[in-house]
């Protein structure tokens, strides 16, 4: 257990960080803390206007660039326009779709945005990576079970919670396989995953959908704010911890509190499953890892 706070973030002057989904919630809080520590922070956001409003309230050097993770063409454009080293890539953006929706490329939206979009982004930026990749996952991964025969929910009755859980399991499997590949390539870049805990953000109220009553009560009574939810992400980004770590809050079943290293499910530790998901993701996105 730690007492780690934003005050423990080292001086990041001279570094560059990209934070996806940085216009609100945990992403915004993460970007703000990094910029306050001296980093040049690029807010990679779907809505540039919201991104500029968020950046206007942040200290230090910030920049807003458009990125729609639900459209691989947008991901490719973002990556093609990048030049220079990336000390920190925070794959934060995420959705929880209550009903079946599809990305521009036809993928189920939770899996397409939360996993495949970030998978493509990371690999397209691979040559620029110089420090860490932090992917925001969730303990919801414990309820995930990837169905490789129907990842796009073409035949199964759609369940929004299951699709979200599966995408968060994919985030952890992606992190494990990315770290394995980085080590094999002799790279010093670290791949980490972070669980923000129970955080009151708009992810639970998208497109006019309110969360079920039990969730609404839990959020009201137990949820922490985005600044606290950002702590495990920031800890994964700068703390002296090994690659392929999973960080999360230290209290209330890892739902609240200061960040620490936490455990993941046996499924999320399955390296054969991680390699299989990587191969499938390369085929679906048509983006191959350089190593």
DSSP-H helix ranges across the chain: 25-36, 48-56, 72-80, 109-111, 118-124, 160-184, 213-222, 226-238, 271-285
Share of the chain above pLDDT 70, in %: 90
Predicted pLDDT of residue 224: 82
Q: Mind listing the domains of the chain with CATH numbers?
A: 6-285 (3.40.50.720)
Contact 134, 236 (CB under 8 A): yes
Burial of residue 207 (number of CB atoms within 10 Å: 0-12, 13-18, 19+)? exposed
Contact 67, 44 (CB under 8 A): yes
Active site residues: 164
Predicted pLDDT of residue 218: 55
Predicted pLDDT of residue 222: 67
List the one residue out of 42, 50, 56 whose CA is nearest residue 88: 42
DSSP per-residue codes, 65-122: EE--TT-HHHHHHHHHT--S-EEEEEE------SS--B-TTS-BHHHIIIIIIHHHHH
Under-70 pLDDT residues of the chain: 1, 200-223, 251-254, 256
Q: Which residue has the tokens 């919801």?
A: 140
Predicted pLDDT of residue 70: 98
Q: What's the pTM?
A: 0.92
């Amino acid at each position: 257990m730690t007492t780690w706070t934003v005050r423990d973030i080292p001086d990041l002057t001279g570094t560059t960080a990209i934070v996806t989904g940085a216009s609100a919630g945990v992403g915004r809080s993460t970007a703000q803390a990094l910029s306050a520590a001296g980093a040049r922070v690029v807010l990679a956001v779907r809505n540039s206007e919201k991104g500029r409003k968020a950046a206007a309230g942040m200290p230090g050097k910030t920049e807003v660039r458009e990125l729609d993770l639900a459209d691989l063409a947008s991901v490719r454009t973002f990556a093609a326009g990048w030049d220079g080293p990336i000390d920190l890539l925070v794959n934060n953006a995420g959705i929880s779709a209550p009903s079946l929706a599809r990305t521009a490329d036809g993928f189920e939206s939770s899996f397409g945005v939360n996993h495949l979009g970030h998978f493509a982004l990371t690999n397209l930026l691979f040559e620029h990576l110089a420090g860490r990749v932090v992917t925001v996952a969730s303990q919801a991964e414990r309820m995930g079970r990837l169905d490789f025969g129907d990842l796009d929910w073409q035949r199964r009755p759609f369940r929004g919670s299951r699709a979200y859980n599966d995408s968060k399991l994919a985030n952890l499997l992606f992190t494990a396989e990315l770290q394995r590949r980085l080590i094999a390539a002799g790279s010093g870049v670290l791949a980490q995953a972070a669980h923000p805990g129970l955080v009151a953000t708009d992810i639970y109220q998208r497109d006019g959908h309110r969360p079920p009553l039990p969730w609404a009560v839990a959020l009201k009574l137990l949820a922490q704010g985005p600044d606290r939810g950002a702590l495990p992400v920031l800890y994964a980004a700068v703390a002296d911890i090994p690659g392929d770590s999973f960080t999360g809050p230290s209290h209330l079943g890892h739902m609240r509190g200061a960040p620490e290293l936490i455990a993941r499910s046996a499924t999320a530790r399955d390296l054969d499953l991680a390699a299989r998901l990587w191969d499938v993701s390369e085929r679906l996105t048509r983006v191959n890892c350089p190593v």
